[in-house]
Amino acid sequence: MAQAFSPDHAASLKGEAHRTVGQLPFLVAALVVIGACTCISALAAILDPGIRPLLLQEDGIIEMASAVVLFLVVAGSAYAICRWGLRLPFAIAGLLGFAELMDETSFGSRIFGFDPPPLYGGGQLDGFHDLLILVFRLARDFNAELAWLWVGILLTGSIALVAFALFRFWQGISLKALASADHTLLVLHVGLIGLAQAIDVATHSHILSAMEEVFELNAEILLGFYLAQHVYLASRPGEGYAATA
């Protein structure tokens, strides 16, 4: 009991409180930005149908924006590692950003002009997302129900991750707990990427394809905020990593 009210324990609780409050702006700002991007994209497509192809086509505005955000994440991760040393959040953001940037640029084929290998069932193997499509097609050829089970697993897992991240966010807003908030943005990023891939695998609807592109852009923005959050923590030792050492 005495330990629970010791000066060291009180200082630890105070540090955790500062750490928690310091991270909330990143969570709030990330949700505000992706909400604004979604609304602006939807309104532009509704009010000006002529801009839809420019927004959603291959190498369109949304895809280019995703690629720019991913490039900034990769560059920012490299800088953070050089500045503060190799830390898990920097490495995760950098590796995910690089993998997703390669996916957006078709493993560099759009930049360097080479042809990707053919994909089983049609198309080209020009991104990591095509591996999920490949699993779906192989499963479909074996058993249609197995293929839709695969889609259901992707969809259920992604929705669960998004729900968990939003639940943790709500806990932070209510100031009840935010102990694992260090990675809430990362969990939300993975959840939105999963939703986008489930849509890509399961449907050819133009409306859902548009949602896929917006989900991907939103996910990349979340990854950028995740990196910014941990750069902030690294730059403020009293509130960041040193507080939990």
User: What pLDDT, in 10s, does the model give residues 135-166?
Assistant: 778 888 888 788 888 888 888 999 999 998 88
Helical segments of the chain, H only: 7-47, 52-56, 61-84, 88-104, 109-112, 129-142, 144-173, 184-202, 206-235
* 138 close to 120: Cβ distance less than 8 angstroms: yes
User: Which helix (H) or strand (E) is 146 found in, with range?
Assistant: helix 144-173
Q: Is residue 2 part of a domain?
A: no
Structure confidence by residue, pLDDT tens digits, 57-98: 666 788 888 889 999 999 999 999 999 999 999 999 999 999
Q: Is residue 228 part of a domain?
A: yes
What mean pLDDT is reported for the chain? 77
Choice between 101 and 24, residue whose per-residue pLDDT is larger? 101
Q: Percentage of the chain surpassing pLDDT 70?
A: 70
Q: Is residue 47 part of a domain?
A: yes
What would you measure as the largest C-alpha separation in the chain, in angstroms?
69
Choice between 63 and 49, residue whose per-residue pLDDT is larger? 63
* 76 close to 68: Cβ distance less than 8 angstroms: no
Q: Is residue 1 part of a domain?
A: no
Q: Is residue 40 part of a domain?
A: yes
Q: Is residue 190 part of a domain?
A: yes
User: What is the total count of domains within the chain?
Assistant: 1
Residue 127 has pLDDT above 70, yes or no: no
Quote the pLDDT of residue 140: 81
Quote the pLDDT of residue 9: 43
Q: Is residue 174 part of a domain?
A: yes
- Give the structural domain span for 100: 9-244
